[in-house]
Structure 1
Amino acid sequence: MPRRISTARGREFGEGMRAAIANAGMNARELADVLGWDEAKVSDVLTGKGGVTILEVALVLGVCRVEAKERDRLLELFPGRDLSGWWQPHGKCAPVRPRTVLTQLTAAETLISWHTHAVPVLLRTADYMRALLTASATVSVDELEERLRVLQEMQKLLSNNLDCTFYIHELALDLRVGGPDEHLSQLQRLMFMANWTKIRILVVPVAAGAHAGIAGPFTQLKFPKYESLVWVETENSSLFVETKEAVGGYEDVVCALDKVSLDEGESMDLIARRCVRLQEAGGADGAVKQDSGEPFPPS
């Protein structure tokens, strides 16, 4: 079946409208009866098809008694629902609950993620994430626990038949986030997750030198019915790349990373050796010792 023309904005708009109707305790047929519309008209509003006006959308939101903040968000989304590509400035820092990311992750069937300097968010332990949030210059301490709860919500999507490939640079494994115990637990978490049927973790070794992914982290999401997109996150904004040419460029990066990365077995062996070294490490600071016959980081 050919993929339908759809955008991240359009899918988020539709998800929000469906939630508004459900929260009002109605289904599409019942809403149509209240408005005196055909049920097909309600479907057109939900999908944002041509011929639907913003006044009709506002009417639906009013009947459903949607709160002002959510009403305004959906009315703002409506005019641009067909626009490809979406840059979201967040102000000082990323939102506690990244609505668009969660919406797209829920709909995706395949995830391909690349990270240069840290463990990808979907593979992080709570302690690892807590240490990163604590070190942040923009995230409020008051939000920390709520952000950790959202992390758990995102990670639950991994068990939703999502096929995942994570590319991680070797240097990200050596960055100690938290104390020695947290570092070890995070590496063990990676080994545990790699045993999942639909999760592959591939390490790009230091020996690869300059590589195609050096520009920075990104995540590609593929959908069963829609064209794929790429999600890029910065300190205070999110970018959802959807044009075919731009997504194709990221796919070229993934192909190049695949050529220089270790395979699954080699990647797990590398991580396992680090775990052993951390367990055997001496000294009050828990630093990994260097063996005289092998350089550090271990290869």
Structure 2
Amino acid sequence: MRLARGLSCAEVASAVGCSESKISRMETANRGLYADEVAAILGFLQAPPRLRQELVALVRTGEDRNWHAIHGKLPGHWKDLIGFEAEAVGIHNFEPLVIPGLAQTAEYAATVMRGVNDMLSTGEIDALVATRMGRQVVLGRAMVHLLIDEPVLRRDFGSPGMMRTQLQHLSAMAERPNIVIQVVPFESPAHPGLSGPFVRLDFADQPSLVYVESRNSSTFLEEDGFLENATLAWQRLCALALPADESTALIAKLISKAT
């Protein structure tokens, strides 16, 4: 429909208020489709009402299937995140509450998931954990930079042994040449990270993305303003964080205490 009207991706993006890269990724199946976005695009392209209703209904059916039938009660946008991580050449993740998912052990991940949603069955938790562990394959090829708020490293959720294993895992990860782990000290002044966790994904041949997750919702931000804001926030957090070697030393100190 876009081509039939002689429109470029940039023109459609401008009309519906998103980035050109989002339209391109949607058309080439490099990101999922969401009903509100598809409805806006179809409206701009002047799709016949009946066709618009059929396509939006199809998208909604796909959303329901991905959420419930295929992988159980998984977080929103999980499929897109896994796909984008697989393509990314650089992943930059700040976490103020838990160990970043790409650095979690299976036991730590399961503990967090049970705490967040005690309605999940054992089978559902196992599926969630398996998905999270599978994501970690990207650690073998992408440049990964993790910023972790210090209180995260001191929170053992009532299981010091589990946390000791998790900290040992972090320490081992920090030895890899493509992974940088830094700790934002507890005594840091107020900073942009107080707005919550975020991930910036960089690609070889596509604009960067910012992934933001909050309670029961998540989204990808692709517009220039959001990317600039996230980049500035990351720079400020890096300036506050302990150097990588001091961060590793702090983790080692906490390992010795977690007995």
- Report the TM-score, using the length of structure 1 for normalisation: 0.64
Q: Are the equivalent residues in 2 in contact too, given 1:117–1:175 (CA < 8 A)?
A: no
Residue 117 (structure 1) aligned to one of 80, 93, 97: 97
The match for 1:154 among 121, 125, 135 is 135
Offset of residue 138 of structure 1: 6.3
How large is the Cα RMSD of the aligned pairs? Answer: 3.2
Question: What are structure 2's unaligned runs of at least 5 residues?
Answer: 1-9, 11-18, 32-44, 52-56
Q: Which one of the candidate residues 4, 25, 28 is aligned to 1:11?
A: 25
- Cα deviation for residue 9 of structure 1 reads 6.0
- What's the counterpart of residue 180 of structure 2? 200
Q: Note the 1:2-81 alignment, pairs <5 A.
A: 7-8=21-22, 10-11=24-25, 13-15=27-29, 72-73=58-59
- Establish whether residue 137 from structure 1 lines up as the match of residue 137 from structure 2: no
- Whichever residue aligns with residue 109 of structure 1, its letter is V
Other structure's SS at 1:197 match: coil
Q: Deviations over 1:83-110 (max 9, x none)?
A: xxxxxxx79x643881110111111111
Q: Equivalent residue of 1:208, what SS?
A: coil
3-state SS, counterpart of residue 177 of structure 1: coil
State the Cα distance separating 1:53 from its structure 2 match: 11
Distance of 2:182 and 2:152 partners within structure 1: 12
Q: Indicate conservation of the 8 Å contact 1:170/1:205, yes or no.
A: yes
Q: 1:212 to 1:13 in 2, by over 3 A?
A: same
* CA shift digits 1:122-141 (9 cap, x unpaired): 10000000111111236522
Is the Cα contact below 8 Å between 2:185 and 2:241 reproduced in 1?
yes
Greater share of helix? 2
Q: Which moved more, 1:254-263 or 1:8-17?
A: 8-17
Report the CA distance between 1:237 and its aligned residue: 1.4
Residue 274 of structure 1 and its aligned partner are, at CA, apart by 0.6
2:198 paired with 1:218: yes
Q: Check if 1:164 corresponds to 2:144.
A: yes
| Partner of residue 173, structure 1 | 153
Change (3 A) 1:7 1:261: same
Measured in 1, the distance between the counterparts of 2:82 and 2:207 equals 17
Question: Alpha-carbon deviation of 1:10?
Answer: 4.0
8 Å contact from structure 1 (residues 96, 147) kept in 2 = no
Task: Please give the per-residue CA displacement for 1:233-265, whole angstroms capped at 9, x wherever unaligned.
Answer: 123211101110111001010110111100010
Alpha-carbon shift at residue 278 of structure 1 (Å): 1.6
Identity of aligned residues (%): 24
Pick aligned residue for 1:256 from 236, 240, 251: 236
1:86-97 equivalence runs, <5 A: 94-95=74-75
**Using a 3 Å threshold, how does the CA distance of structure 1 residues 12 and 139 change in structure 2: closer, same or farther?**
farther
Q: Residues 96 and 253 (structure 1 numbering): CA distance in 2 closer, same or farther, change over 3 Å?
A: closer
CA–CA distance in structure 1, aligned partners of residues 165 and 179 of structure 2: 18
Partner residue of 2:107?
A: 127
- Equivalent of residue 266 in structure 1, options 240, 243, 246: 246
Q: How many residues align?
A: 216
Q: Name the CA distance, whole Å, in 1 between partners of 2:124 and 2:243.
A: 38
Kindly name which structure, 1 or 2, has the bigger radius of gyration based on alpha carbons.
1
Aligned AA for 1:115? E
